[in-house]
Amino acid sequence: MSVLKKIKLEYGFKTTPKLLYTAISTPEGLSRWFADMVLIEDDVFHFKWEGSSQKARMVKCKENEFVHFLWLDDPDREECLEMEILNEPVSSEVALVVTDYAEESDFDFTERLWDAQLKKLQRLFSP
């Protein structure tokens, strides 16, 4: 098994923690920015993109604060996709901190992919 490197990225949003939490924790919200289609069966999220799919279980969550998904397609992988909401009361901005893992050779690609996806999410909250 290859060694995975942690990627931690932070993005600002002009929205409420509640609306952002809905976008990162529900099939409807995730379908608007993360995947082409997201279905949930029992407690398993089915993420579908053009030509590929993955399954994950939400292993931890706290309303309006964070979600952690464990990918089920690789049983040896223990790293979770983590999305944490930070409330910035002074600036009235909300930050989303994404923690993911990738092989070192894929690090730049993974970071660019997250940048593109999170820009899509930011546009959902733009006036």
Range of the domain at 27: 4-124
pTM of the model: 0.90
pLDDT, tens digit, 9 for 90 and up, residues 75-109? 667 788 999 999 877 777 899 999 999 888 998 99
Radius of gyration of the chain (CA): 14
User: Domain tally for the chain?
Assistant: 1
CATH number at residue 96: 3.30.530.20
Contact 10, 97 (CB under 8 A): yes
Q: If 0-12 CB within 10 Å is exposed, 13-18 middle and 19+ buried, where does residue 17 land?
A: middle
pLDDT, tens digit, 9 for 90 and up, residues 20-71? 999 999 999 999 999 999 999 999 999 999 989 999 999 999 999 999 999 9
- Alpha carbon dihedral 32, 35, 39, 44, in 10-degree steps, equals -130
